[in-house]
C-alpha cells in the first residue's frame, strides 16, 4: 500500500479522500490555490503545497505544479477526486510517466469514455443497450435531418466531448433542428474546444439511473447497485438516492450482470459509473464516468463499503477479495447536495460563513469542508456540502433527511437547504413519482408561489 498520497482536488471531496487515507495509515498531501490557503482540506492534510493563483486553470488544473508538488513531497500516488483533472487521460499518462500511480482507470479507458461517441460504440459492441441515435458524429446538418427523421422527433444534439450538461440542445421538431445544431456546436466548441456532436432520441420522461462498479484489473468486477439521480436542474444532479424507488432487485441484478460482463471484457480497472436513462422498463446507456462521483456516499451507506478505500487498494495492485455474492444492499440512502446558491433563483452566494452547525444522530453523514468563519471563494463550484442520510427504508430515510435539514445551520451565505426541505416534504417526491423533468417544474412552481 502507498505511504503517501497527493490529493489533486479541494473542498469536500479532498476531505473525503483524506479521511480514507488516514484510516488506512496513508499520509496525505493537499494542494491548494492562494484562495484556499485556509481551506479545511489544507488544514487537515499532513502536508500542503500551494500550486498557484485562484483561477482553477492556474492551480487545480496546473499539471506541472501538481506533478512538482508530488515529486517534492515524495507522494507515490495521486487521487484526482471528481471534476478538475479526474477525467483527463493526458494527466493520467503524465502521472504514470513520472513514476507515480494515478488512482483511477487506465488512460486509454479514460480517453475512450471521455469521447461519448467512442463510449457508445464500445458499449454497443459489449451488448449494453443504448439510447437510439446517430451511429457516430454528425458530419452535417443534412445528416442530422436524416437521423432525426429515422429516429423521430424530439431529438437531442449532444457534444461528443460533453460534460456538466453543456453542449446539449433539444429539437422538438424539424423547425428547431437547425438552431439546436448550431447552438450545440457553438457551446461544445466554447466549452470543450471540440465541436463534434451526435444525436439521440430525446426521451420525454426518463429517470436517470446509474450503476456503481469497481474492478481490480485482475478480472474481478463487482457492482454496488444503482443510484437514482433523476432530481436534476439544467442536467445537474441535486438529490440522489440508493436504490431507485422504482427498481426491483431482479432488475438491478440483470442490469448489473450485463454491465459487469461488459467491463470484464473491456479489462476495466478502478471505480466507474455507467449512466442510463430508464423509461418504460427499458435501460438505455448514455455515458460512463471513469472516476469517483459526487453522489458515491449513498452507495457507501447501503452497501457498507468505503469506495475510496477500494480505489486505493485496487490502484496499489490489490485484488478485490470479494465477489458479487458478498455485496449486500441494506436499507435506503438519500443525498442532498448543498450549494452556496439562492434556493429559488440559484444566484451564486459565495462569502463568509458566520455560523455552521452540522446535524448528527443515527444514519446521518455530512461531507463538507465548511467551518464557521470560512469564506466560500467565488472561483469554484458552488457545492459546499452533502447531507447523506440512511434509513431502514425510503420513508425512514426521508423522515431522517427532514429532521437533519432542520438541525443544519449554515448562516452568512445563501444555500439550497430550504429547497431540500421543500423537496423532502413534497408528496410526489415522497411517493417516488418523479423523472428527470420533475425538479425543474417543482422549482418553477416555487418561484410562482413566492
Ligand atoms: P453530461 O455528461 O453533460 O452530464 P449526460 O449524457 O450525462 O451529459 O446527460 C445529462 C442529463 O441530460 C441526463 O441525466 C438526462 O437528464 C439528460 N439527458 C441526456 N440524454 C438524454 C436523452 N437522450 N433524452 C432525455 N434526456 C437526456
101-102 and 77-79 strand pairing: parallel
- pLDDT exceeds cutoff 90 at 164: no
Other C-beta atoms closer than 10 Å to the C-beta of 127 total: 11
For ligand 1, atom 9: residue with the closest CA = 165
Q: Is 192 exposed, middle or buried (0-12, 13-18, 19+ CB in 10 A)?
A: middle
Residue whose CB lies within 8 A of the most ligand 1 atoms, among 133, 165, 283, for a mutation test: 165
Ligand 1 mean position to 162 CA, how many Å?
10
User: Minimal CA–CA distance to 293: which of 335, 234, 231, 353?
Assistant: 335
List, for residues 14-30, the tens digit of each pLDDT value: 999 999 999 999 999 99
Ligand 1 mean position to 163 CA, how many Å?
9
- Between the CA of residue 96 and those of 93, 101, 166, what are the distances in Å? 5, 6, 30
| pLDDT at residue 450, rounded to an integer | 78
pLDDT band at 166 (very low <50, low <70, confident <90, very high): confident
Ligand 1 mean position to 290 CA, how many Å?
16
pTM over 0.75: yes
The CATH classification number of 4-103 equals: 3.40.50.20
332-339 and 236-242 strand pairing: antiparallel
List, for residues 363-385, the tens digit of each pLDDT value: 999 999 999 999 999 999 999 99
3-state SS assignment for residue 96? helix
Ligand 1 pocket check for 163: Cβ under 6 Å:
yes
Of the residues 16, 291, 337, 400, which is catalytic? 291
The Cα angle at residue 171 between residues 169 and 174, in degrees rounded to 5? 145
| pLDDT at residue 447, rounded to an integer | 82
3-state SS assignment for residue 162? strand
Ligand 1 pocket check for 162: Cβ under 6 Å:
yes
Q: Which atom of ligand 1 is nearest to the CA of 167?
A: 3
CA 240 to chain centre: 10
Domain 132-201 grouped into CATH 3.60.40.10:
no
For ligand 1, atom 8: residue with the closest CA = 165
Residue whose CB lies within 8 A of the most ligand 1 atoms, among 82, 132, 166, 286, for a mutation test: 286
Ligand 1 pocket check for 134: Cβ under 6 Å:
no
CA distance 435 to 355: 35
- pLDDT exceeds cutoff 90 at 190: yes
Domain 207-449 grouped into CATH 3.40.50.2020:
no
As a whole number, mean pLDDT of residues 259-282 equals: 98
Q: Is 47 exposed, middle or buried (0-12, 13-18, 19+ CB in 10 A)?
A: middle
77-79 and 155-163 strand pairing: unpaired
Ligand 1 mean position to 279 CA, how many Å?
13
pLDDT band at 291 (very low <50, low <70, confident <90, very high): very high
Share of the chain above pLDDT 90, in %: 97
| pLDDT at residue 165, rounded to an integer | 83
Ligand 1 pocket check for 436: Cβ under 6 Å:
yes
Instruction: Provide the mean pLDDT of the chain.
Output: 97
List, for residues 292-339, the tens digit of each pLDDT value: 999 999 999 999 999 999 999 999 999 999 999 999 999 999 999 999
Ligand 1 pocket check for 442: Cβ under 6 Å:
no
Ligand 1 pocket check for 131: Cβ under 6 Å:
yes
185 catalytically annotated: no
| pLDDT at residue 72, rounded to an integer | 98
Ligand 1 pocket check for 200: Cβ under 6 Å:
yes
| pLDDT at residue 236, rounded to an integer | 93
Per-domain residue ranges of the chain: 4-103, 132-201, 207-449
Amino acid at each position: 500500500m502507498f505511504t503517501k498520497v497527493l490529493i489533486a482536488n479541494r473542498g469536500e471531496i479532498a476531505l473525503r479522500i483524506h479521511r480514507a487515507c488516514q484510516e488506512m495509515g496513508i499520509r496525505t498531501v493537499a494542494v491548494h490555490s492562494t484562495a484556499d490557503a485556509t481551506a479545511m482540506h489544507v488544514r487537515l492534510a499532513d502536508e500542503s503545497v500551494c500550486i498557484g493563483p485562484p483561477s482553477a486553470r492556474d492551480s487545480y488544473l496546473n499539471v506541472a505544479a501538481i506533478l512538482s508538488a508530488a515529486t517534492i513531497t515524495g507522494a507515490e500516488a495521486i487521487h484526482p477526486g471528481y471534476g478538475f483533472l479526474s477525467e483527463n487521460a493526458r494527466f493520467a499518462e503524465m502521472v504514470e510517466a513520472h513514476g507515480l500511480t494515478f488512482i483511477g482507470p487506465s488512460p486509454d479507458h479514460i480517453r475512450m469514455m471521455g469521447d461519448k461517441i467512442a463510449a457508445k460504440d464500445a458499449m454497443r459492441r459489449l451488448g449494453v443497450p443504448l439510447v437510439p441515435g446517430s451511429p457516430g458524429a454528425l458530419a452535417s446538418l443534412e445528416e442530422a435531418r436524416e437521423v432525426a427523421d429515422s429516429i423521430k422527433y424530439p431529438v437531442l444534439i449532444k457534444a461528443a466531448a460533453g460534460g456538466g450538461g453543456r453542449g446539449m440542445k433539444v429539437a422538438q421538431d424539424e423547425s428547431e433542428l437547425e438552431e439546436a445544431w448550431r447552438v450545440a456546436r457553438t457551446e461544445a466548441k466554447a466549452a470543450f474546444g471540440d465541436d463534434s456532436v451526435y444525436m439521440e432520441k430525446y426521451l420525454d420522461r426518463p429517470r436517470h439511473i446509474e450503476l456503481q462498479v469497481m474492478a481490480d484489473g485482475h478480472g474481478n468486477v463487482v457492482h454496488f447497485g444503482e443510484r437514482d439521480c433523476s432530481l436534476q436542474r439544467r442536467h445537474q444532479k441535486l438529490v440522489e438516492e440508493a436504490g431507485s424507488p422504482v427498481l426491483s432487485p431482479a432488475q438491478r441484478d440483470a442490469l448489473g450482470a450485463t454491465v459487469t460482463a461488459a467491463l470484464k471484457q473491456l479489462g476495466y480497472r478502478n471505480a466507474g459509473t455507467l449512466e442510463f436513462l430508464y423509461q418504460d422498463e427499458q435501460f438505455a446507456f448514455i455515458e460512463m464516468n471513469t472516476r469517483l462521483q459526487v453522489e458515491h456516499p449513498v452507495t457507501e451507506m447501503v452497501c457498507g463499503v468505503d469506495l475510496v478505500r477500494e480505489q486505493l487498494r485496487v490502484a496499489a495492485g490489490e485484488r478485490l477479495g470479494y465477489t458479487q455474492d458478498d455485496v449486500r444492499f441494506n436499507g435506503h440512502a438519500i443525498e442532498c447536495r448543498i450549494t452556496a446558491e439562492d434556493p429559488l433563483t440559484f444566484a451564486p452566494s459565495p462569502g463568509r460563513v458566520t455560523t455552521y452547525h452540522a446535524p448528527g444522530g443515527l444514519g446521518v453523514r455530512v461531507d463538507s469542508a465548511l467551518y464557521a468563519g470560512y469564506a466560500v471563494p467565488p472561483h469554484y463550484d458552488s457545492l459546499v456540502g452533502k447531507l447523506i442520510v440512511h434509513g431502514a427504508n425510503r420513508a425512514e430515510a426521508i423522515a431522517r433527511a427532514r429532521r437533519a435539514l432542520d438541525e443544519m445551520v449554515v448562516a452568512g451565505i445563501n444555500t439550497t437547504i430550504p429547497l431540500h426541505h421543500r423537496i423532502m416534504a413534497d408528496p410526489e417526491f415522497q411517493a417516488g413519482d418523479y423523472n428527470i423533468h420533475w425538479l425543474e417544474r417543482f422549482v418553477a412552481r416555487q418561484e410562482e408561489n413566492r
